[in-house]
Structure 1
């Protein structure tokens, strides 16, 4: 039954479009025009996306054909645009949001020239992630992005105010940062893809007219570069194709709007893997606005790059890590690729970055600090922090940053501060488990990094999750066996190993606390002392103190798989890492 209704709606739209297209220039009665508009409005609310798209095509043809005179401007605004805007603003129906948003972005310019900013503002309201999870609809946000760029193109670059350009720009950035998920998976992907297309079209629209600020163009290019380095093949391909189109667009290139456009063309649009990134470096123009009267660009290069193939694209984008203005954006994408669960993507991205750092050791400190900046920008963001911890573990294990000792670089000290902030009070076991090997790998670095790394490691040995304590102990055993007297006095090596191996780290916290304090004492770190929590009088149990609740074996087994909570807190600055 549902399928037959969809067919009926689809056919009604097709017949309407045929009627409009074959009747171009033919006068129709007012009643007929009203019937056409009602049919369009009804089908714009249809839940079937194909029907919405067919309706949109019919609507474009209808608006051009039958709302073609200046006398229709006020009538269309009163009879058509205002009702659409009111219903869109008041309705929580996703189908209405999806269809009406698209429709508002597709009116001919002469009908909306005086109202386009109000229409645009309403469209922009559909793009941010909804505060209430029950109201979230990725298709509506995606359609908001599509409608906004359609509106901009309908108006033309010269007719847009500077304020509107800025607001549209910020809305596209919101779209490319949409990582929302629901039971269908990464639905934010649809919004990001729409935003990538929109940013490309926005640059192409504005650049030739001189309306595009270089900073704005650079920010949008960074958004595309980040997406081109993320873990999903489809997203990387979509971003790569948009970058390729921009880097081959003569009207954009002639304005010198894009950051490092000559270098990116040489690196991304040719297949010469032997070229040195240093040979591509030229100084960018410092003007803040794009020059729409610049000289003609180099001849367009054609490329057959498979942007979805990580083995092809990651080595290309890794070369762009040499350029400071692009580095953080590229690494923000590579973080989720290197630290993700897709093995072939993680392997390809890791190999590319490690290879780049071997060839360009002068960039190691800058790359390391850019990764830390990505972590600061995404403080407590699970989607980014856990992969970043894994990425750093991979790079440090391959000795990519072994030269960045505390005396030469602030990298390790800055990383320890970030780790303390991220682990403080964390109940995210995946993040905690990802942090363990990274913390332990910092121990071979010189002082004061080594002692601080030990302090964090010992804090993790008192974490509420038994799995974190067990892995922490195993990793510490490994590093002590590997480096031994290089990281501690030779006479303490066996004693430290005995303490780590003999303790049952999966038992209750009270059972491991003494061992941790002995370890701390061996490394000259202040032992931890329990500080009793104040128990309000009203909450104290009324049973006699000598009565205790028996503890069953089952309750102990269950406790090993859940974070254990002490009735006491540690009187120490690492206490919040333990819980």
Structure 2
């Protein structure tokens, strides 16, 4: 840091030929060397030279701006070879933002300043890093990148607003505000606070106002300037009740809900509790508005579809679905047979667990306790096909494991959805792992007691007897016979044995 701080003074003292003009030979040698080091296989070398480029005075960047920005954009790009280089991506973003401040804004000079010819490329690089969720042994190192991206987006946008606001296009401003709103609804407290600060700074900036902010009028009412200093956005109890209000604004709904979903799957008890409570409060308020409830459910399904097999999102999303289903948030849909929401949700759940047969993946997971308010269909036992479980103990939280409560909860929807959900549960009764079979039986037992209309009264006693009395950890041949008996009683077709490991 000290060397970077001294670089500008050094360059101004020794590398300037005339006032404001660089020595061409030195400029060529220095820029070429610094850009070459951005491709160094050592991450710290990339960091140092990225920051060095960001510290260069304007006269050394003159005529070489595009070349420098291209090199730094490459540093911020994630590739399989350097996916763990989060710090170099962070420093590349910082350098881009600092260079923009150094060269300023000037029309028609892409090699000397920020202008219409290069601003979209700069924004593209910064916005692309908002999706960096890289994790390694240090944890979510992508937060370093996303934080730098947010700060850089704010600095660039404020710079443009002061000088040439017409360079801020509507779709760019919308994407910035939505991405930052998503980060302001996620689970890491200090990071959420930084995102909220950026969001509110952009919203309330008035010298002049940032153009094209979506729903500006509604946002100013939801987040008045007088509340900016008084709200502690790092406190879940203060942050989530406020950020969930954005779910009512169509432009922000997808991104805020995506952030809330991730928060619901967090590990911090206060984050889980307050994000869940805030989501329930919002959904409670739209129960009498079929259009709003339909839009919300459609957005939830779209997030699921966009993130199939992406366990960072799909796992907490399944948990979110479990919460909203078991708390009756979609009870209005149960009055219609084969409601489109239920049909699509079932299809997505089946896709999420399909072909999930990797042994190492099945044996891994993260223990998650479900809130005590969850209904009986969730039960005290969490099934997880990604790992071994103990009955009666919190299970590892993983995609396959989260699917069982979903199938249990979906038997409340009448029609073919119910039959398909029961069929999926019957398939799991013959899973290759004995503990999976035992837990499935326990969940189905509790589900049938919760939703008494699922099975006819004439066979209910026999069904629960089979579920409770069968030794589900016995040999598959024995278990399969009892499972098939259940299929007959439940009125679903018997699954056919296929020559695949772990299948029924």
Deviation at 1:85, TM superposition (A): 1.4
TM-score of the aligned structures, taking structure 1 as reference length: 0.74
Among residues 506, 510, 516, which one is paired with 2:477 in the alignment? 510
- Once the two structures are superposed, what CA deviation does each residue of 1:356-414 show, in whole Å capped at 9, x if it has no partner? 11122222222222121111221211111110000111111111111123459521111
Give the Cα–Cα distance (whole angstroms) in 2 for the partners of residues 252 and 194 of structure 1: 24
Are 2:312 and 1:364 equivalent residues in the alignment?
A: no
The change in CA–CA distance for 1:71 and 1:163 in structure 2 (over 3 A counts) is closer
- Listed as ranges, the matches of 1:172-321 within 5 Å are 172-208=126-162, 209=164, 210-251=166-207, 253=209, 255-269=210-224, 302-321=228-247
- Listed as ranges, the matches of 1:37-52 within 5 Å are none
Deviation at 1:70, TM superposition (A): 4.5
Number of the residue aligned with 1:289: none
Are 2:311 and 1:382 equivalent residues in the alignment?
A: yes
- Once the two structures are superposed, what CA deviation does each residue of 1:140-167 show, in whole Å capped at 9, x if it has no partner? 1110111111222223233334453222
Greater mean deviation of Cα atoms: 174-183 or 412-421:
174-183
Give the Cα–Cα distance (whole angstroms) in 2 for the partners of residues 408 and 76 of structure 1: 72
Give the Cα–Cα distance (whole angstroms) in 2 for the partners of residues 471 and 203 of structure 1: 53
Among residues 365, 379, 401, which one is paired with 2:330 in the alignment? 401
- Aligned to 1:132, the other structure's residue is in SS state helix
Deviation at 1:344, TM superposition (A): 0.9
TM-align CA RMSD: 2.1
Number of the residue aligned with 2:382: none
Among residues 67, 83, 87, which one is paired with 1:118 in the alignment? 67
The change in CA–CA distance for 1:352 and 1:408 in structure 2 (over 3 A counts) is farther
- Aligned to 2:332, the other structure's residue is in SS state coil
- The structure with the larger Rg is 1
Q: In the alignment, is the contact (CA less than 8 A) between 1:269 and 1:305 conserved in 2?
A: no
Extract unaligned runs of 5+ from structure 1: 1-52, 271-299, 534-564, 571-579
Are 2:381 and 1:431 equivalent residues in the alignment?
A: no
Give the Cα–Cα distance (whole angstroms) in 2 for the partners of residues 59 and 70 of structure 1: 16
Deviation at 1:330, TM superposition (A): 0.2
The change in CA–CA distance for 1:114 and 1:333 in structure 2 (over 3 A counts) is same
Greater mean deviation of Cα atoms: 176-185 or 520-529:
520-529
The change in CA–CA distance for 1:246 and 1:161 in structure 2 (over 3 A counts) is closer
Q: In the alignment, is the contact (CA less than 8 A) between 1:236 and 1:307 conserved in 2?
A: yes
Number of the residue aligned with 1:59: 7
Q: Would you say how many aligned residue pairs link Structure 1 and Structure 2?
A: 452
Q: In the alignment, is the contact (CA less than 8 A) between 1:473 and 1:500 conserved in 2?
A: yes
Greater mean deviation of Cα atoms: 314-323 or 300-309:
300-309
Q: In the alignment, is the contact (CA less than 8 A) between 1:433 and 1:471 conserved in 2?
A: no
The change in CA–CA distance for 1:162 and 1:500 in structure 2 (over 3 A counts) is farther
Are 2:295 and 1:327 equivalent residues in the alignment?
A: no
Q: In the alignment, is the contact (CA less than 8 A) between 1:88 and 1:97 conserved in 2?
A: yes
Give the Cα–Cα distance (whole angstroms) in 1 for the partners of residues 331 and 77 of structure 2: 42
Deviation at 1:62, TM superposition (A): 2.9
Give the Cα–Cα distance (whole angstroms) in 2 for the partners of residues 408 and 416 of structure 1: 10
